[in-house]
Chain A
Amino acid sequence: MLRDVWLIFRRDAILLSRNPAWLAIGVMQPVLYLVLFGPLMERIVTSTPGFPPGSSWTVLTPALIIQLALFSATTAGFSLLADLRNGVVERLRVTPASRVALLLGKVLTNGLTTVAQAIIITTLAFLVFDLSAPFGGILLTLLIVAMLSVTLASASYAVALTLRNEEAFPALVNSVMMPVLLLSGILVPITTGLAPDWLYAISRVNPFTHIVDAGRAGFRGDFSVDAMLTGSIVLVVLMSLCVFWGARTFRRENA
């Protein structure tokens, strides 16, 4: 089983390394945010009451990393649709390899990709902009991002396998991810001081809000139970559910 996971992971990782352009393209968007949106935040954060603690860069950078995970992992299903079309999925499913391994190998590649991209962005924020964050905190946030990526990629594969439609898939992903993204307060944190009550209430129901909060806390170096607990629990539960969902879909007979 672990061997199968490793073999599939390696295959996808080799494919990825063959086209490093995709990694770069994935990084482009958050970099643009850093450069073109970040400086704007600097002023706003200092002059607006209700913002969470920390400088604008410690608020923005972890959010951009998480946004990146959301984007790249949710679209992971695309590669699976291509594999389905090419018959690769079918070919692998006739081998004795564990079906769960076929999924895990893939999502681990997605996790690795996101972490690699996150490191690039964080380094950039450090070198070029005024980001100051504790090393341990950054590591913790990277772990959160990796887990989030595994979570969303699993869900993305499950949806792709169920839909099996290269047109419907991006439409569905977009229509789900757009409100989720806005409600998680990625760009401007949704706090009691900034948001009307109803918006704040909805955002608290969104699991990703708590994950974004935990990611920010990591960059602030705030490891308190208050800042971390909800987000970690939400993430672990969400990851378990999504991996289970993905594994079940992979195991299902005609997937």
Chain B
Amino acid sequence: MIKARGLQRRFTSRGRTVDAVKGVDIDVTEGELVGFLGPNGAGKTTTLRMLTTLLTPTAGEAEVAGCDLRADPVGVRKRIGYVAQGGGTGPECKVAEEIELQGRLYGLSKADAIARGKVLTEQLDLSGLDQRLTKTLSGGQRRRLDIALGLIHSPKLVFFDEPTTGLDPQSRANLWEHIRMLRSEQGVTLFLTTHYLEEADALCDRILVIDGGEIVAEGSPDALKARVSGDSVVLGVDDDVTTRAAEIVGRVDGAHDLVTAVGEVRFRVPRGDTALPALLRAFDSEGLTMQSMQVQRPTLDDVFLTLTGRSLRDSESGGDADQPDETATDEDSNRNDDSDRNEVPTHVA
């Protein structure tokens, strides 16, 4: 469905050149749901805009939905759907008008556009909103309308740019369902960008990780996580026994990446769940108590950290990459229900 080789885009403004995308290769086969993961500014949207004919690549070539990107952009446009990050509906337009216009611009007759719109609005839970101005829709409704517009001509390949950015958790979960259904029920090939790890993890068969305009890794979420060697374990201990605790941990089979802070010992171990009972006994026999312990399965964030040396969340929040996130991870896991799935928090009194 997509075959891109050496796709590159350079921007020049005020004498400064920026290589937003430095030559990426992308292969997507029919029926796949592929995620393009990276922090803001990594080149996701630029790549997507190239693949959807909105931006001419500086170098490289691509075949999208069977048409050559450079030689036949109109052919590409006819065959793909694109749901842009910020949506694309006029606030003063009625839902039905936008749907009909979109369908007719894709060459459908008026009757066909209306009929197809009816099917889509039902599928996307937009029934009964026909005569509403789009500015009166909720964020989730408007995003689903954007999707309906992108699907009006029944494309076999659909691009989503940050489909759930700015949506509340409920709308996001709902949208994920719709995206999954597109693939399972209609066999649509999907290519989406996201800077949410949970989203890439929950939705995608395969993930391309992009950073600084280059693809730094590629694989299924599980395969990517397997690149991070083992579970992360964080032990909370009394401040004055941190060193002794670290010594005990050092004797655990396969423990590595040992890091200590006052009152805290972190390390990685192949199987965190089986390592802990033995560790507890060892602490006991040395007369030490553990205040807390936490085992975390590798997340895509760990993958990102391993690949780039930076945390995805950090690079998002403005590049405080070297700021230690000792307690941040714990808090994050409480706040963020999506990452809970990967964790086995165990608290010892």
Interface majority SS (helix, strand, loop, mixed), chain A: helix
User: A66-92 CB contact bits vs B (8 Å, 1 = yes)?
Assistant: 000000000000000001001110111
Structural contact, B105 and A15, CB atoms closer than 8 A = no
Q: Which of these, A86, A87, A92, A254, contacts B55 with CB under 8 Å?
A: A254
Residues of chain B within 8 A (CB-CB) of A91 are 82, 84, 87-89, 102, 146, 149
Residues of chain B within 8 A (CB-CB) of A94 are 52-54, 77, 80, 82, 84
Structural contact, B97 and A90, CB atoms closer than 8 A = no
B212 to chain A, nearest CB (A): 21
Using a Cβ cutoff of 8 Å, how many contacts connect chains A and B?
Answer: 69
Structural contact, A95 and B87, CB atoms closer than 8 A = no
Q: Which of these, A3, A15, A95, contacts B90 with CB under 8 Å?
A: A15
B139 to chain A, nearest CB (A): 14
Structural contact, A14 and B97, CB atoms closer than 8 A = yes
Structural contact, A88 and B88, CB atoms closer than 8 A = yes
Structural contact, B91 and A86, CB atoms closer than 8 A = yes
A115 to B91, CA, bound (A): 26
Residues of chain B within 8 A (CB-CB) of A15 are 90, 92-93
Number of interface residues of B (CB under 8 A): 29
Q: Which residue, A87, A91, A93, A254, has most C-beta atoms of chain B within 10 A?
A: A91
B296 to chain A, nearest CB (A): 38
Structural contact, B105 and A95, CB atoms closer than 8 A = yes
User: B70-102 CB contact bits vs A (8 Å, 1 = yes)?
Assistant: 000010011010101111111111000100011
A3 to B107, CA, bound (A): 9
Structural contact, A253 and B55, CB atoms closer than 8 A = yes
Residues of chain A within 8 A (CB-CB) of B89 are 86-88, 91
A190 to B89, CA, bound (A): 47
Structural contact, A88 and B90, CB atoms closer than 8 A = yes
Residues of chain B within 8 A (CB-CB) of A14 are 93, 97
Residues of chain A within 8 A (CB-CB) of B102 are 91, 95
Structural contact, B88 and A11, CB atoms closer than 8 A = no
Structural contact, A7 and B104, CB atoms closer than 8 A = yes
Which B residues form the contact surface with A (CB < 8 A)? 52-56, 74, 77-78, 80, 82, 84-93, 97, 101-102, 104-107, 146, 149
